[in-house]
Amino acid sequence: MSYITREMAESALKKMASFHKDLDELFQRHGMNLKENLGRRNILLSQAQEKYFAEELSLVYEGVESDGRTGQPDIVINSLGKELECKLTSKTKSGAYSFQSDYETLQKKGSLDYLYVVADENFEKFTVLHYEGLTTEDFRHLSPGARGKVSMKKHTANKKLNRVFGDLASKSLKQIKRLEDLLEKDDIPAYMRKKYNKSLQYWKSEPEKYTVVLEDIIV
């Protein structure tokens, strides 16, 4: 069981959405568009993520801290002996979702818990994913020019995943089921059967792929 519940997530997300609304209106008054650059927008909202999730955790656990200083954990839950790294991300222009970590911090700690909040452009739909005990083995190798950031290997890390809000669904299993259903039909041409079998082998042999399923919050 995750120590972060759906109820905690819903409450924190509603506060984050309210803060986003206020910030969006402030930007508009000054002739700027908050949603023009979602990466920059998410940086501005990251402190709100840490604050509001820490508040929810403090209602259940003792010794919850979130001071926001550089080099310090995003959230510490002393009564559980846990450090929680908070990440806020959105779909990139290529249509992908990037789940990253700071390599040096993870290497130094050995193992860390992560709270990834995925938000849509309008900050109305979300997915909350809680990973426990991730190590450098759950991320790709550090590459030149990556500025110390490494990307998650979801097919490995998802063994340690708690789905709190929304979902991270297996795209691979969906495709395998679809192709197997097609191959059960007797009336498909030989060339199509060959094509389906080739696709089926691809999805079975490749590391499992996933798709983010966002969920509305009711404010």
pLDDT score of 68 more than 80: no
Which stretch of 32-36, 57-61, 89-93 has the lowest confidence by average pLDDT?
89-93
DSSP output for 43-65? HHHHHHHHHHHHHHHHTTSSSEE
- Read off the pLDDT of each residue in 5-17 and give the average, rounded to a whole number: 97
Residue 103: is its pLDDT beyond 70? yes
Domain 6-168+212-216: CATH architecture, name and number where available: 3-Layer(aba) Sandwich (3.40)
The domain segmentation of the chain, as residue ranges, is 6-168+212-216, 173-204
**Residue with the larger pLDDT of the pair 145 and 211:** 211
Q: From the CB of residue 157, how many other CB atoms can be counted at a distance below 10 Å?
A: 20
pTM confidence score: 0.90
* Cβ within 8 Å of residue 141, ≥6 positions away: 150
- Give the pLDDT of residue 219: 66
> What rounded mean pLDDT belongs to the chain?
93
Burial 14-52 (b: 16+ CB within 10 A, else e): ebbbebbeebbeebeeeeeebeeebeebbeebbebbbbb
